[in-house]
Structure 1
Amino acid sequence: MKVVVQVKLVPDAVQAAAVSVTLGAVNDAANWVSGVAFERGVPREYELRRHTYAQLKERGLGAQAAQHVIKKVRDAYTALHANLRAGNLGRKGSRRRVRAASKPVAFRPGAAQPYDDRCLSWQYDARTVSIWTTSGRLKGVPFVCSPGALKVLREYRKGESDLIERDGVLYLVATCEVPEAEQYEPDGFIGVDLGIVNIATTSTGYQAAGRKLNRYRKRQLDLRQKLQKKGTKSAKRRLKQRSRKESRRARDINHCVSKTIVTEAERTSAGISLEELKGIRQRVRLRKPWGYLPAGGWGRVALHSWAFAQLGDFIVYKAKRAGVPLVFVDPAYTSQTCAECGHVDKRNRVDQGLFICRGCGVVAHADRNASRNIATRGETVRNAGRESRAPATP
């Protein structure tokens, strides 16, 4: 299982200048290679190397750095073409699609640059790295990270690391191959229902309410609009300072929620049944005002700004590391089906938080009822995927 560990570089002034200049140089070179690739119809990597490798060496790039620049450009075009085929950039003829396909792929000055073990070496005990730059090899560049991240780096780091610059700060993002724990035989499943009003609701009773985060998002949106409208230098400086603050808060909450769910499953020797995330934004509807979360413009912002996929990814990788069995189920009609009698009726879901079965009359929290249905479907999927233990027919 691949896990990425991010460490912060804390170089001195001379080292920081050399690394920043190097990052700008390789991304300038990547923009030039991208222009060559665009003019020649994006050839294969070997042919692109034949047209650009010598010139990259003349620009002062080392052999490995030049190879990584070419590969980075080719991978960027591969991703672009995959998005075009999948329709992620709009329909054929749309302005967004035409704009993306009609010009070379561009790289920011601080965009990530891959480093392999020939260009970068780690000294874990000293917490320093030795890194290639256009000014020569820099040794003893300090980095900082948590003790847990350092342990993962020391034991499992494998492959390339990416050097990036974000808001003037340099980071290394290392790839680690962490072995998956052996899965145990689950004693039942915990169903997880995802939403906006309640971030996650489990069939065991745990509920992560989204009220606080949604209010925080609303305050951040109002503040951004106010600063953008003001348009002064200080307002722009404040906008830059607050950039990504909201996403960091949401990421932290997703980590906490996913850790709680996986820990509970591990403690009770249960598996996790998670709903398929594909199409979740279409399934979550904004038909009526939600009290503090109106169905107007802010409701749409809340719907499309919540990181459903990130929460799902966190649950998946934490479950794999803990050895917790996990299955994905189709969530269709889970909010309309009674977990007690199985009666399906659209009218069973009275409102966002209330479920009243038209068949047996049971009253329950709507998200808790849906999570119980997801748990039941998880057991069904698990049993259907097991190998038959019946004796072979003679």
Structure 2
Amino acid sequence: MKTVTRVKLLPTPDQASALECTLRTVNEAACWVSGIAFERGVPREYELRKHTYAELKARGLGAQAAQHVIKKVCDAYTVLKANIRAGNLGRPGSKPRIKAGSKPVTFRPEAAQPFDDRCLSWQLEKRTVSIWTTSGRLRGVRFACSPDALETLRSYRKGESDLIRRDGAFYLIATCDVPETPLNENPAGFLGVDLGIVNIAATSDGTRHAGRGLNRHRKRQADLRRKLQAKGTKSAKRLLKKRARKEARYAADVNHRISKSIVTTAWGHLPAEGWGSTSRGVALEDLSGIRERVRLRKDQRTSLHSWSFHQLGAFIAYKAKRAGVPLVYVDPAYTSRQCCECGHIDRKNRPNQSEFTCRACGVTMHADLNGSRNIAARGAVAWTAGRQSCVPEPA
């Protein structure tokens, strides 16, 4: 399983200047290559190399760096085409779609640049790296990371590493190939997870991860940004820059803790060998496209568009894969209106956000608990329907 590990570089002032110059140079070169690719109808990588490689070398790029710049440009156009084909940039004829396809792809001066093992080597015991720059090879560039990240790098690092600059600091994002745990093919049921805004996640076991703290944090950050932007002084702008992405980092930390709790609960306490009776799968709602489908009042739109359900789902997915826990996605239609006891569906079953009362059988419970149990039941059905038949073929 491919994962990434991020480490923070601690360069000296001279090393930092060389790294900054390198990123600026390679991204300026990438913008130039992108213009050539756009003019020639985005040819294949081999053909694009014939038109650009000599000029990249003349700009001071090494052989491997020039190859990576060309590949980066080709990958960017591949992603653009995939987004257009998937409708992520609007319908045919829409302004965003026309704008995206009418000009070359551009790269920020601090955009990530890939380095392979020829351009970058790691000295893990010394916690230093040796990296190629336009000013020559930099040796002994120190980095900092957690002990777990260092062990992951030592055991599983494989492939390219990306150099990025963010908020004045340099980072290396290394690709690690972590072996997967064998998937549990016979889970003892499924743990349903109902995602929401008031409660970030509610499980069919009755656990609710409240979103009150995260929502308060987002409101405080929005109020502070509003005040600083209205003030407009140099110190206010410096503080805005300093606090950039603070909300995103906080939300990611919350989602990491929630996803770890959910996967650990489903995984259960297992014996030394084999799977125990408590090991279950995880069932999630397929919420793709929900922002386009849902219509809300203006005062509710901020909450919806800052709802990081996709990130939480991605965290649950890779943690489940790493632990060997089955994961299925189910249709979320009517999970909040259907009774998990009798199956009766009625809009009136949910009189308010937190309460569920079945009009048919009279059962009463928290609405998120009812929804998560419906998701768990659908997950079990989807898993059974998706498994291959083990019945031997007739002779």
Report the residue type matching 1:280 in the other structure.
Answer: I
1:1-35 deviation digits (Å, cap 9, x = unpaired): 11011100001111111111111111111111112
Q: Which residue is equivalent to 2:130?
A: 130
Report the residue type matching 1:191 in the other structure.
Answer: G
State whether residues 353 and 367 of structure 1, in contact with CA within 8 Å, keep that contact through their aligned partners in structure 2.
Answer: yes
Q: Which residue is equivalent to 1:271?
A: 281
RMSD: 1.5
- Unaligned ranges ≥5, structure 1: 287-294
Post-superposition shift, 1:282? 5.1
Post-superposition shift, 1:390? 3.6
Q: Which secondary structure does the structure 2 equivalent of 1:331 belong to? A: coil
Q: What is the distance in 1 between the residues matched to 2:115 and 2:155?
A: 19
Aligned pair count reads 385
Q: Which residue is equivalent to 2:180?
A: 180
The worse-fitting range, judged by mean Cα deviation, of 138-147 and 214-223 is: 214-223
Aligned pairs for 1:97-246 (under 5 A) are 97-184=97-184, 185-246=186-247
Report the residue type matching 2:377 in the other structure.
Answer: T
Post-superposition shift, 1:243? 0.7
Aligned pairs for 1:228-377 (under 5 A) are 228-267=229-268, 268-281=278-291, 286=296, 295-297=297-299, 299-377=300-378
Q: What is the distance in 2 between the residues matched to 1:195 and 1:283?
A: 16
Give aligned-pair identity as a percent: 68
Q: What is the distance in 2 between the residues matched to 1:2 and 1:45?
A: 24
1:38-86 deviation digits (Å, cap 9, x = unpaired): 2222222111111110010011100000000011111111212222222
1:150-179 deviation digits (Å, cap 9, x = unpaired): 111111111111000001100000111111
Q: What is the distance in 2 between the residues matched to 1:238 and 1:85?
A: 40
Q: What is the distance in 2 between the residues matched to 1:382 and 1:96?
A: 39
Q: What is the distance in 2 between the residues matched to 1:276 and 1:140?
A: 47
Q: Which residue is equivalent to 2:385?
A: 384
The worse-fitting range, judged by mean Cα deviation, of 272-281 and 300-309 is: 272-281
Post-superposition shift, 1:190? 0.6
Aligned pairs for 1:25-64 (under 5 A) are 25-64=25-64
1:107-159 deviation digits (Å, cap 9, x = unpaired): 11110000011101111111111110111111111111111111111111111
Q: What is the distance in 1 between the residues matched to 2:152 and 2:118?
A: 21
Q: What is the distance in 2 between the residues matched to 1:105 and 1:368?
A: 46
Report the residue type matching 1:84 in the other structure.
Answer: I
- Unaligned ranges ≥5, structure 2: 269-277
Q: What is the distance in 1 between the residues matched to 2:263 and 2:103?
A: 45
Post-superposition shift, 1:329? 1.3
Aligned pairs for 1:6-85 (under 5 A) are 6-85=6-85
Post-superposition shift, 1:391? 4.7
The worse-fitting range, judged by mean Cα deviation, of 73-82 and 142-151 is: 73-82
State whether residues 112 and 165 of structure 1, in contact with CA within 8 Å, keep that contact through their aligned partners in structure 2.
Answer: yes
1:276-316 deviation digits (Å, cap 9, x = unpaired): 13133356664xxxxxxxx543x211101111111001001
Q: What is the distance in 2 between the residues matched to 1:241 and 1:181?
A: 40
Change (3 A) 1:168 1:25: same
Q: Which secondary structure does the structure 2 equivalent of 1:9 belong to? A: strand
1:336-387 deviation digits (Å, cap 9, x = unpaired): 1101111111211111111110110001111100000111111111222233
Q: What is the distance in 2 between the residues matched to 1:390 and 1:67?
A: 51
Q: What is the distance in 2 between the residues matched to 1:348 and 1:76?
A: 48
1:252-278 deviation digits (Å, cap 9, x = unpaired): 000000000011111131111111131
State whether residues 190 and 270 of structure 1, in contact with CA within 8 Å, keep that contact through their aligned partners in structure 2.
Answer: yes
* Pairing 1:92–2:92 present: yes
Q: What is the distance in 2 between the residues matched to 1:211 and 1:312?
A: 19
Report the residue type matching 2:220 in the other structure.
Answer: R
Q: Which secondary structure does the structure 1 equivalent of 2:258 belong to? A: helix
Q: What is the distance in 2 between the residues matched to 1:56 and 1:215?
A: 50
State whether residues 335 and 369 of structure 1, in contact with CA within 8 Å, keep that contact through their aligned partners in structure 2.
Answer: yes
Q: Which secondary structure does the structure 1 equivalent of 2:76 belong to? A: helix
How does the TM-score come out when normalised to structure 2? 0.94
Report the residue type matching 1:151 in the other structure.
Answer: E
State whether residues 195 and 284 of structure 1, in contact with CA within 8 Å, keep that contact through their aligned partners in structure 2.
Answer: no
How does the TM-score come out when normalised to structure 1? 0.94
Report the residue type matching 2:231 in the other structure.
Answer: K
